[in-house]
Homo-oligomer: A and B are copies of this chain.
Amino acid sequence: MSHLKPAAEGLRTRIFQIIFESDTPAAKAFDIALIGLILCSVLVVMLESVVSLQERHGDIFHTLEWGFTILFTAELAVRLYCLDRPWQYLRSFYGVIDLLAILPTWLALIVPGTQSLVVVRLLRTLRIFRVLRLMEFVGEGRLLIDALKRSSHQIFLFLFTVCMLITIFASLVYLIEPAEAGFTSIPTSIYWAAVTLTTVGYGDIAPVTPLGQAISVMMMLIGYSIIAVPTGVFSAEVIRSIRADRYSEEACPGCGHDRHDQKAYYCLRCGTWLDEETPDPRAEHDSSAQD
């Protein structure tokens, strides 16, 4: 950075604080403006996909799209300007998202027809997660992610069992039901079995033979009940997380009571001073009284 003039250097640092951090008023305003801009651009992409609106207001959408593309390109340029290693940012998760959001429109200038790829701009909504992370939702999110991580093995086992059930029931019903009812192949039967077991139930494919219906009923009852498994596992983990936050597991040196509030100084049972590294203020008081 030494090759920059001090003034420019100070500007870069100031811009960096505004667009990459979020603890100054200017940075917060930038975050909110960015979320607003992303939501607007997403809305335009959505409305543009409605044929009747596209026909009537196609010109407005076209102008807005270019407006957003130029704004996002400018934002990305400024981001890269105030970083020391711009290439590393471009290869990061949010860098790729930023790039994907502007590429389709620019690309359409060179290669006609890539216009439809503008849908990938919806991925930009993922950037909102980053803003949330910088804001007040840190603690809650971490607790949830911790609980998910610790229950991930069990939830993997659950999903694997569900997939096995889907496959086995799908093959069974594929053998029983006629192709006319929609069970034309095993992959289609698996789609139907997933629709049934997860209690979604589109009804585009439904069993018509009594035996097929009986097996479906069994699948529904299983799907209806086993949702208790991930729920139970995750509940237990959240409860453990919350409790771990609150209680110390260290036993009182006086009476051995081992469930104290994290903030406790004295044992609630025998009144013993709990912090063994610092002296009990009462003791000091007593000894000075005895002198």
Knowing A126-B164, A168-B122, A270-B265, say if A185 contacts B220 (CB, 8 Å): no
Chain A interface, DSSP helix/strand/loop, else mixed: helix
What distance in Å separates the Cβ of A213 from its nearest Cβ neighbour in chain B?
A: 4
Residue with the highest number of chain B CB atoms closer than 10 Å, among A51, A116, A129, A263: A263
Whether B201 pairs with A202 at a CB distance below 8 angstroms is yes
Given known contacts A164-B125, A238-B236, A201 and B206 CB-to-CB distance under 8 angstroms: no
Q: Does A199 contact B (CB under 8 A)?
A: yes
A188 CB, nearest partner CB in chain B, Å:
7
Contact of A49 among B153, B185, B213, B237 (CB under 8 A): B185
List B contacts of A204 (CB < 8 A).
Answer: 203, 206
Contact between B223 and A167 (Cβ–Cβ < 8 Å)? Answer: no
Instruction: Please tell me if the beta carbons of A175 and B116 are within 8 angstroms of each other in the complex.
Output: yes
**Residue A141 at the B interface, CB < 8 A?**
yes
A40 at the interface (CB under 8 A from B): no
B238, A233: Cβ atoms closer than 8 Å: yes
A6-14, A17-25, A79-87, A249-257: which one contacts chain B? A249-257
- Say if the beta carbon of A73 comes within 8 Å of chain B: no
Q: Give the CA-CA distance A201 to B241 in the complex, in Å.
A: 34
CA distance A235 to B228 in the complex (A): 7
- From known contacts A157-B137, A242-B236, A270-B265, infer whether A144 and B229 are also in contact, taking CB-CB under 8 Å: yes
- B137, B187, B265: which contacts A50 (Cβ < 8 A)? B187
- Which residues of A are in contact with B by a Cβ distance under 8 Å? 42, 45-47, 49-51, 116, 119-120, 122-123, 125-126, 128-129, 132, 136-137, 140-141, 143-144, 147-148, 153-160, 162-164, 167-168, 171, 174-175, 184-188, 190-191, 194-204, 206, 210, 213-214, 216-217, 220-221, 223-225, 227-242, 251, 255-261, 263-271, 273, 280, 282
